[in-house]
């Protein structure tokens, strides 16, 4: 056990980041082992468009919980690879609507069986007596009502 593991909740952010990096790294290896050229960072956008079909940039950012600039960066990358395409909204010229291209839809089709295997495997990892997903949801809800900084500020007065 290292110092980060020993200090518990004080290192929560570090430990979540470490877990996230491990899952992303291994996720990339999983896709590669199935001969799928896919970066795990693309997943939230691709999956959202697979389910919702056509969304604006703002709607995608809201759906995936990313900032607008982070979402735009991902979208530019995916558009350059021709996995998504965008067009101006006929009712609002300022708004860009994003869809999966035929290449993007083909990619999703290849990934769906892999997602099933990944989902089942992740369920084994995340579903124990403490239920990781439930704990994450609870923490996200609490932080949505009052942020970490606000909570610390109130306690340090």
Q: Report pLDDT digits (tens) over 102-148.
A: 999 999 999 999 999 998 888 887 776 567 778 888 888 888 888 88
pLDDT above 70 coverage of the chain, percent: 92
CA-to-CA distance for 53 and 49, rounded, in angstroms? 5
Q: Could you tell me which residues come within 8 angstroms of residue 5 by beta carbon, excluding any fewer than 6 positions away?
A: 11, 15
| pTM higher than the cut 0.85 | no
The position carrying tokens 């899952």 is 23
Mention every residue, 6+ apart, whose C-beta is less than 8 A from residue 127: 133
Q: What is the pLDDT of residue 43?
A: 93
């Amino acid at each position: 056990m290292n110092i980060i593991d020993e200090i518990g909740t004080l290192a929560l952010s570090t430990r979540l980041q470490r877990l996230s990096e491990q899952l992303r790294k291994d996720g990339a290896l999983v896709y590669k082992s199935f001969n799928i050229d896919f970066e795990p960072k693309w997943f939230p956008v691709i999956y959202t468009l697979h389910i919702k079909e056509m969304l604006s940039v703002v709607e995608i950012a809201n759906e995936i919980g990313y900032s607008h600039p982070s979402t735009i960066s991902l979208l530019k990358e995916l558009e350059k690879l021709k996995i998504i395409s965008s067009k101006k909204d006929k009712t609002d010229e300022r708004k860009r609507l994003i869809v999966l291209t035929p290449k993007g839809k083909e990619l999703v089709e290849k990934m769906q069986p892999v997602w099933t295997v990944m989902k089942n495997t992740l369920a084994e990892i995340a579903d124990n007596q403490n239920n990781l997903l439930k704990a994450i949801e609870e923490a996200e809800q609490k932080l949505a009502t009052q942020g970490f900084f606000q909570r610390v500020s109130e306690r340090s007065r």
